[in-house]
Chain A
Amino acid sequence: MRHGKLLGRSEMDNFIKRYPLWSLFFFLLAAAFLCLVLAPWPPELVAVWGRKQIFLNALLGGITLGALYFLVAAGFTLIFGLMRVVNLAHGSLFLIGGYVGYEVATASGSWLLAFPIVFIVVGLIGLLMQFFIFSKMEGEELRQTLVSIGLSIVFADLMLWWWGGQSYSILAPQFLQGPMELPLVSNFNEATGVVTWLRYPSVRVWILVAAIVIGIAMWLVLNRTALGMLIRAGVDDREMLAASGVRIHMVFLAVFGFGAGLAGIAGIIGATFQSLSPGEDTRFLLASLVVVIVGGMGSIVGAALGALIIGVAEQMGFVYAPTYSIVLTFLIMAAVLAFRPQGLLGTRR
């Protein structure tokens, strides 16, 4: 632990020593960003960029969207990193989770109850997929991907059959409804000296908190437990791990089930702060693809970073350049591919 910390600091020192100008640039950028977020905006800035509240809302919206993307993409990247399966049915798992969560929440009246049930149901679907299909064609990456495409077509049509084309959304429970005040200045009235704090839907704030908690828990499991050690070893060298006597298929099953369950949970969250309809599966599949490409394939921290970047870029683009918001996301992806094809935090294989 201590060694790791020291290493981290010295790496940062090294970076500053090697690239003093870049470090200064990044430092100034971070400082300017903090000023933008924390300080009240002068009228000149408001004239150029619009009200601060809009900016803060876009930023927070981006961060919470990033939290949702992270939940979807984390499972995707784990499955990819460990099994080399590009599971293009991952978006379908998200949508199934949302629909099942809707059914559970409306039938039982409990939003919280939906989470464990959906995690188990969707996780089980993932387990079955891995057990009956993907494990039969291990090593044939392209074929596995094609199968996952076929599955996504079948799932999408079955869901359309069962739930129809209308959109559903799950009502947040009572204690999460309404806005909450955040310690961020939204507006400062110079004449009266009154500070207005930013009000933001509390359900989104709690989802962000939950995503962070899940992310940290995943990191801890991956880096501090025996199972995590197996998974990391499997990501690095699957054959060697299998050769050393680990029943790697059990690890595969666990990871596939966990990743699928996570996508299902993300479905409930997606249904709570947006809505569910046919087509959302491809949207979230695309989001996880881009997040994983940007963040680095097979890396949880990379997925978090990528999700944050893509979520914020999407919301900012949506607010400030509506016609070109998708281009912004695409340009980020293209830039990462051009300069760092393995992703920001990915390792080259």
Chain B
Amino acid sequence: MSVADQAPRFASPVDHRMWSERIPAPWWILGLILLLLPIVANNFWLFQIMGWTFILGMIGLSLMFLAGYGGMVSLLQMSIAGLAGYMVAILGPSGAANVSLGLSWWIVLPAAFLIAALFATICGALAVRTDGIYTIMITLAIAAAFFYFTRQNYSIFNGYSGFNLVLPPKLFGVNWRDPLPFYYLTLACAALCYGAVVYLARSPFGLALQGVRDNPRRMAALGFNVTAHRVAAYALASVFASTGGILLVWQNAQIAPGTIGISSAIDVLVVAVVGGMRRPLGPFIGAFIYVLLQVFSTDILGFFGFSADRFKLIIGIGFLAIVLFSPDGVLGLWDRWRARMAARKAATTGGGA
């Protein structure tokens, strides 16, 4: 049993291709489409639909990171996003001048990320005291408590009315709320978050986190600190949620308790589950479907003779259908369809040969 015997098992086959060649072609096409979308799409599509999709996708991504890799289904991500958004409104300039401090953006943004991460870490530390199905209960309770608190508290969170006129800083002389810059801003942030999650999932930390998800006792026996990994996952996920939250505030130019209500917290879960929680792309697909349904609910429901108020019913039934028939979301449906196609192809070609 020499070292030489062992060596080949550990040496992974080194991929000598350029990094750009390792990315499959569909991704290049998707990237190109997204980059060139402004040529064909109008402002409404860029700002409302795509902007909102990316934002919701990022918040869903933070849930996907926790749930898919860490096995912790947290309903807290919308609250974390909301807290970051609130911090931007409270520390930076806003319409509620008596509450907002009006600091400049290079203090506000890091502070917002830090405070949100701190909140996520504390709540995460509480939530990981128990595990499995309890996580959902505890995070839902914390999210609800935060929602009611922002609604009651006027000295910090300006109560029921929240903050309006929260605008992004005019960096480089660009008005980032104009549809085109905002589209590219959200696209860049979403791409960064996506890349970060893909990278993290393959990093030693991500692998250890997936180990903790699959078998915490074994990982503990191997010397990994299970609790620390879980809490760190909460802290990391807060970065994606905060990015989404800050962009959300800039998109709406306002934030109020309604933004972070319980139904919003559940919407994030719906988005992640509908898209699929196994892969980081899932939340973005789920967000796209959700936003399309939300925006065009009037037309869709009108077509079937219902009033537009029944949007939630559609979402609820769609969500139930996904959970009942395809628990791994739309991506799971796609995977199974491709597998079946491949199997059929193999059957036909195999039969011929």
| Residue A145 interfacial (CB < 8 Å) | yes
Contact A142 B133 (CB under 8 A): yes
Tell me which residues from 143 to 192 in chain B have a Cβ below 8 Å from any Cβ of chain A.
144-145, 148-149, 152-155
- In angstroms, Cα B108 to Cα A170, docked, is 50
Question: How many residue pairs, one in A and one in B, have C-beta atoms under 8 Å apart?
Answer: 110
Contact B153 A323 (CB under 8 A): yes
- In angstroms, Cα B269 to Cα A297, docked, is 24
Contact B327 A161 (CB under 8 A): no
Query: Which one of A13-21, A24-32, A193-201, A286-294 is at the B interface?
Result: A286-294
Among B129, B309, B310, B323, contact of A146 (Cβ-Cβ < 8 Å): B323
Q: A147-B320, A150-B319, A286-B144 are in contact. Are A84 and B262 (CB under 8 A)?
A: no
| Residue B140 interfacial (CB < 8 Å) | yes
Among B133, B137, B323, contact of A292 (Cβ-Cβ < 8 Å): B137
Query: Which one of A217-225, A249-257, A334-342 is at the B interface?
Result: A334-342
Contact B141 A157 (CB under 8 A): no
Q: A142-B73, A147-B323 are in contact. Are A293 and B313 (CB under 8 A)?
A: no
Residue of B nearest to A161 (CB): B310
Q: A154-B317, A289-B141 are in contact. Are A337 and B149 (CB under 8 A)?
A: no
Contact B152 A151 (CB under 8 A): no
| Residue B130 interfacial (CB < 8 Å) | yes
Contact A341 B129 (CB under 8 A): yes
Report whether over half of chain A's contact residues are helix, strand or loop; otherwise say mixed: helix
- In angstroms, Cα B305 to Cα A83, docked, is 40
Q: A147-B320, A161-B310, A286-B144 are in contact. Are A141 and B133 (CB under 8 A)?
A: yes
Can you identify 22 A-B contacts, CB atoms within 8 angstroms? A86-B137, A140-B327, A142-B133, A142-B136, A145-B136, A150-B320, A156-B316, A157-B313, A282-B144, A286-B262, A292-B137, A293-B137, A297-B134, A324-B152, A325-B152, A326-B148, A326-B149, A330-B141, A330-B145, A337-B129, A338-B129, A342-B130
Tell me which residues from 112 to 156 in chain B have a Cβ below 8 Å from any Cβ of chain A.
126, 129-130, 132-134, 136-138, 140-142, 144-145, 148-149, 152-155
| Residue A143 interfacial (CB < 8 Å) | yes
- In angstroms, Cα B141 to Cα A337, docked, is 12
- In angstroms, Cα B133 to Cα A297, docked, is 12
Q: A325-B152, A333-B141, A337-B126 are in contact. Are A149 and B319 (CB under 8 A)?
A: yes
Tell me which residues from 313 to 333 in chain A have a Cβ below 8 Å from any Cβ of chain B.
322-327, 329-330, 333
Among A153, A158, A325, contact of B266 (Cβ-Cβ < 8 Å): A153
- B145 cross-chain contacts in A, Cβ below 8 A: 286, 326-327, 329-330, 333
Contact B126 A147 (CB under 8 A): no
Contact B323 A161 (CB under 8 A): no
**B interface residue count range (under 10 / 10 to 19 / 20 to 34 / 35 or more):** 35 or more
**A interface residue count range (under 10 / 10 to 19 / 20 to 34 / 35 or more):** 35 or more
Contact A153 B152 (CB under 8 A): no
Among A142, A143, A326, contact of B152 (Cβ-Cβ < 8 Å): A326
- A146 cross-chain contacts in B, Cβ below 8 A: 269, 273, 319, 323, 327
Residue of A nearest to B75 (CB): A149
| Residue B315 interfacial (CB < 8 Å) | yes
- In angstroms, Cα B72 to Cα A273, docked, is 38
How far apart are A303's CB and chain B's nearest CB, in angstroms?
14
| Residue A88 interfacial (CB < 8 Å) | yes
| Residue B324 interfacial (CB < 8 Å) | yes
Contact A86 B136 (CB under 8 A): yes
- A289 cross-chain contacts in B, Cβ below 8 A: 137, 140-141, 144
Given contacts A156-B312, A282-B144, 13 further A-B contacts (CB under 8 A): A84-B133, A88-B140, A143-B327, A150-B316, A150-B323, A151-B320, A157-B313, A161-B310, A286-B262, A289-B137, A289-B144, A325-B152, A330-B145
Residue of B nearest to A146 (CB): B323
- B317 cross-chain contacts in A, Cβ below 8 A: 150, 154
Q: A289-B140, A323-B154 are in contact. Are A149 and B148 (CB under 8 A)?
A: no
- A334 cross-chain contacts in B, Cβ below 8 A: 126
Residue of A nearest to B155 (CB): A323
Q: A145-B136, A327-B149, A337-B126 are in contact. Are A153 and B73 (CB under 8 A)?
A: no
- In angstroms, Cα B149 to Cα A325, docked, is 8
Residue of A nearest to B261 (CB): A282
